[in-house]
Amino acid sequence: MICSTSVPPHPIISGHSPNSQLPLKTLYKSTKAEQALCFSLSIFLKRLRTRAWNVSTFLTSYSSPSSHLQVQKLYAGLIGVNYGRIANDLPSAMKVVKLLKSQGIYRVKLYDSDRAVLKALAGSGIKVVVSLPNELLYSASKTPSFAHTWVQKNVAAYHPSTQIQTIAVGNEVFVDPHNTTKYLVPAMQNIHSALVKFNFHSAIKVSSPIALSALQSSYPSSAGSFKPELVEPVIKPMLDFLRQTSSYLMVNAYPFFAYEANADVISLDYALFEENPGVVDSGNGLRYLSLFDAQIDAVYAAMSALKYDDLKMVVSETGWPSKGDENEVGASEDNAAAYNGNLVRRVLTGGGTPLKPQAELEVYLFALFNENNKPGPTSERNYGLFYPDEKKVYDITLTPEGLKHQGKIRRSKPVNGSKSQSTPVKGGRGVSKSSSGHTWCVANGKAEKKKLQAGLDYACGEGGADCRQIQPGATCYNPNTLEAHASFAFNSYYQKMGRAVWTCDFQGSAFVVTKRPTVKRLSTIDLPAVPSLFPESLGNASSLPVPDTKGGLFLVDLVKCIPIGT
């Protein structure tokens, strides 16, 4: 059997002119073992003609009578960047487009559909993701004419001169405190219907970024599953929609958050793509060399459990802060440089995840700039690759060409640390601060049990709090009281939301404390479960007496939240 498919004109075949038209049969004769490869190459070449793939290297060589075809890196992944603008000192949109092109960034994701930005991107060759904000989900879901008008004004007015390729409907809707989850899929459907009317539905896809908090389980990766309360109402309908429209799932994945909360058990090398022995998944035996891969495969496993193995995934956000508060473990410039730099290398050199080794990775880094008006902890203002003056926060490359001249990034001394945005925004989301900078949200023991339970359900559900430690048999399950579990969940949500005052209320069933909790002050609350995520904030204390449900006392390890004696 001979592969007779012709190679299209393209400067990617080693040793041949870009204008050559060489039949593959002149390169080799296939054996039975090579027939499958022959078919794959024909598909590859067809896609190449339409430039559907981002090809980095395609080398062939006719080496010996064994007719062995050596093919290296048929394609690489794709790198884009999130262009957030919650700041008052950013360069103009025109300057930003020049910066993107100068850095070889040809994919950008926006959090809105700003007119000036979309006009500046016209004719740039940069592929764009625009977003319909959460606050518009209700209108877009209830009124098809609203969705049509939105597409007309924010997409049709610019496309195709501005190469809009995706509309992100909402962002992390499941953790939106305004409870917009039920409007998500109807809004996506109406936006898609509007695209159909403009005949844009083939070129422009509709999706919605989800946070990893949508998962009920993510460890080990093979046990990944979505939260049961989300599956029927929204996850399955959304995945059905994505399948029907040939779209893909967008996922925001942040190894930083997992490392920050579990630095005592997660290796920093594992989180930063550096050399490490890896972690073997006890469910399928696959070895993971990075936390990022493990997180992505947990989502793949969750989709597989619902029979959606065929859907593609795009990482719509990931990043690492270059500066953080005292209690934000791991936030530093050299760690940020290592994470983002090694991630870029990981993506651009090709290959998928252990569970999906052939799946092309498409990743959008968060974020382009440090944004000085973002509320919340210091890290929120320091995810940028660039300062507002367009200088790099740290020196990493974002292109395959640059990788040839840059070795694998190792943690080293941070640079330009004094320029980080470290001052909290005054009045921004009402961020709580004590004199030491540490605050916690705890349950009000005098609140009605109905309100405590409702708050607990919300925090662990749509609120996205990590409640795994208070499940039966977990380290913080005891004391097994509603008040204790509510305190853990309330604080997890409060810390996740940047310690904003309004996130510690839960219908009057919670309040903020600014001093290290004591038994006398907070009765039967399992407070060690609260500061265990931030143990360095407690000085040298290692344990604290906590009343049990029988009125006695036992000691709880403040770092790991494990009962250690009576």
Nearest to 335 by CA among 262, 415, 423: 415
Catalytic entry in 260, 274, 317, 371:
317
Query: 151, 105 in Cβ contact below 8 A?
Result: no
Helix (H) or strand (E) segment spanning residue 128: strand 127-132
Residue whose token pair is 């041949």: 16
Pairing of strands 163-169, 205-207: parallel
H-helix segments, 68-124: 93-102, 115-121
The residue annotated as part of the active site, out of 172, 328, 362, 462, is: 172
* Cβ atoms 296, 251 nearer than 8 A: yes
CA 344 – CA 397 distance, rounded (Å): 8
Residues 6+ apart with CB under 8 A from 141: 183, 184, 186, 187, 190
3-state DSSP of 497-536? CCCEHHHCCCCCCEEEECCCCCHHHHCCCCHHHCHHHCHH
Tokens of 534: 């931030």
Q: Tell me whether residue 260 is one of the annotated catalytic residues.
A: no
Around Cβ 537, how many Cβ atoms within 10 Å?
19
Between the CA of residue 523 and those of 137, 256, 443, 445, 498, what are the distances in Å?
A: 42, 33, 11, 8, 26
Whether residue 172 lies in the annotated active site? yes
Dihedral of CA atoms 2, 5, 6, 11 in degrees, nearest 10, equals: -100
Could you give the C-alpha distances from 75 to 113, 348, 362, 432, 565, in angstroms and in order? Answer: 31, 9, 12, 48, 57
Instruction: Tell me how far CA of residue 485 lies from CA of 306, 418, 453, 472, 559, in angstroms.
Output: 30, 40, 9, 11, 17
64 vs 22: CA distance, rounded Å: 19
**SS3 state at 277:** coil
Report how far residue 441's alpha carbon sits from residue 27's, in angstroms, rounded to the nearest whole number.
68
What distance in Å separates the CA atoms of residue 241 and residue 208, rounded to the nearest whole number? 11
**Upper half-sphere CA count for residue 171 (Cβ side, 13 Å):** 18
CA 525 to chain CA mean position, Å: 33
Q: CA 371, 375, 377: angle at the middle one, nearest 5?
A: 95
DSSP secondary structure code for residue 68 in this structure: P
- Contact present, 2 and 42 (Cβ < 8 Å): no
DSSP characters over 427-476: TSTTB---TTS--EEEE-TTS-HHHHHHHHHHHHTTT----GGGSTTSTT
Residue labelled with tokens 């749509």: 462
Return the active site residues. 172, 317
